[in-house]
Amino acid sequence: GAVVSQHPSWVICKSGTSVKIECRSLDFQATTMFWYRQFPKQSLMLMATSNEGSKATYEQGVEKDKFLINHASLTLSTLTVTSAHPEDSSFYICSAEPGQDVSNYGYTFGSGTRLTVV
């Protein structure tokens, strides 16, 4: 259980364009999803908490207008990187929180999306 799918696995885009990344919980309903960013050879940093049916909560220093998060259903959250620039190139990873007893789940991460902005 607790399978999280993320698409695409990698994407290359031109500067100034927007990229949408999807995070899906396949076998459970996720009331809350999390978006992390990982620069090369660095740790994971939480960007935002995505709550189904309400606005996302962004961590300090993360631009909400640049990283648009939508969590319209209990199984899907999307992260859109708007007007991407080379410094946005990173590994973006989501995770999902089951709305039930968490002791049976390991907070599986999605497979990640490698974004390269050229």
Partner 1 sequence: GENVEQHPSTLSVQEGDSAVIKCTYSDSASNYFPWYKQELGKRPQLIIDIRSNVGEKKDQRIAVTLNKTAKHFSLHITETQPEDSAVYFCAASLGTSYGKLTFGQGTILTVHP
d(CA 96, CA 24) in angstroms, rounded, equals 8
Q: What share of the chain is helix, strand, coil (3-state, %, to 5)?
A: 5, 55, 40
Q: Is 49 in the site for partner 1 (CB under 8 A)?
A: yes
Nearer to partner 1 among residue 84 and residue 112 (C-beta)? 112
Q: Residue 58 interacts with partner 1 (CB under 8 A)?
A: no
Contact with partner 1 (CB under 8 A) among 5, 13, 22, 44: 44
Which of residues 23, 34, 56, 115 is near partner 1 by CB under 8 A? 34
Instruction: Please answer whether residues 18 and 85 qualify as being in contact, where contact means their C-beta atoms are separated by less than 8 angstroms.
Output: no
Complex with partner 1: residue 31 or 80, whichever CB lies closer: 31
Q: Which is nearer to partner 1, 82 or 111 (CB)?
A: 111
Element (H, E) at 73: strand 67-73
Cβ contacts of residue 29 below 8 Å, gap of 6+? 74, 75, 98, 99
Considering only residues 66-105, where is the footprint of partner 1 by CB under 8 A?
Answer: 93, 95-97, 102
Q: Given the rule CB under 8 A, which residues bind partner 1?
A: 32, 34, 42-46, 49, 93, 95-97, 102, 106-112, 114
